[in-house]
Amino acid sequence: MNSNAHKHDQSKRNPALPAGIVASCVTPFSSDGKLELSKIQPHVNWLIGEGVNGLSPLGSSGEFTALDSGDRQRVLDAVMDANAGRLPVWGGTHHYSTQTTIELSKHAQRTGASALLIVPPYYMSPTASQTMNHYRRIAEAVDLPVIVYHNVTLTNVDMRTHHLLTLFQEGAIAGVKMSNAEPDRICQLLQESGGALRVYCGVDSVAFEGLCHGAHGWISGIPSIVPRAARRMYDAIALRHDLPSAREQWAILSKLMRLQFTAYSTRGDGAHWFSVMKATLNMIGPPVGEPQPPIQPLEPEYYPELRRILTELGYACSS
């Protein structure tokens, strides 16, 4: 317990958990679905040039579910090489199996990752207490800060505020990426932890409110595809406390958020959030390929609106 307490104390001031904008690196694929590791270096350089405060490979945007363990390790190795120590890197080491998660986490530690981003075990819907034990076992096995990727929609596991605070107090976790459509979930965590737990806005629809509540950062779609614009809004709220300016910026960014989540919010047809992400990156940055099927490239009818939004945000778009 003493070692856990020591880990807990260190996590609160650990530079591995930066305030600001953390970009979810995407995984480049060729047209036949094979990894294109050579495209990771220019992608990482572009993200860093855009002003992000950290990198997070192998999250949802890294299509980790489409990769076996070996490919996940190769992607993380490539990101670490591309980053070359410039920014903190949160390795996505999630897996349904606790043992495989631990193996991936140990690999991330060996590569020099700064922290781990781990979604709860998916598909089998373990209970909250079973999920808490999953995180405890990971914390016992590795000596890196763990960020819970709280994503009820895609895992069907909902650890409530008291579950997360218990894990934090035990030293098993150091932060939470809150991908929940209820802004008050962010507010609760910040209030009840006294701001000690690092809490990040994990879905764009609650980013404005979450940052106004005092979230430590923002890691989701918008910071990963238009980081410079996301950084401007973060700075306006968190550093300058300039709410009028932030509202003006969100008036544009929210258009991108609504386009991104057309299908997600209606549970029907429309633009898929990840199709929008890769289309955007291909339009304004180094090419990153298309999503792995079954997710398809963005449909042509959405490109004119996407181009208008990106131009309004100050980006030059390729044809």
The catalytic site residues sit at 149, 177
CB contact at 8 A, 238 and 245:
no
Helix (H) or strand (E) holding 102: helix 98-111
Q: How far apart are the first and last CA of the chain?
A: 57
Q: Is 153 strand, coil or helix?
A: helix
Q: How far is CA 59 from the centre of its chain?
A: 6
Beta-bridge partner residues of 20: 217
Angle at 207 between CA 201 and CA 211, to 5 degrees: 80
User: Rounded to 5 degrees, what angle do the CA atoms 265, 53, 12 make?
Assistant: 95
Radius of gyration, alpha carbons of the chain: 18
Return the DSSP state at 30: -
Residues comprising the chain, all counted: 319
Token pair recorded at residue 97: 């199996």
Strands 54-55 and 90-92: unpaired
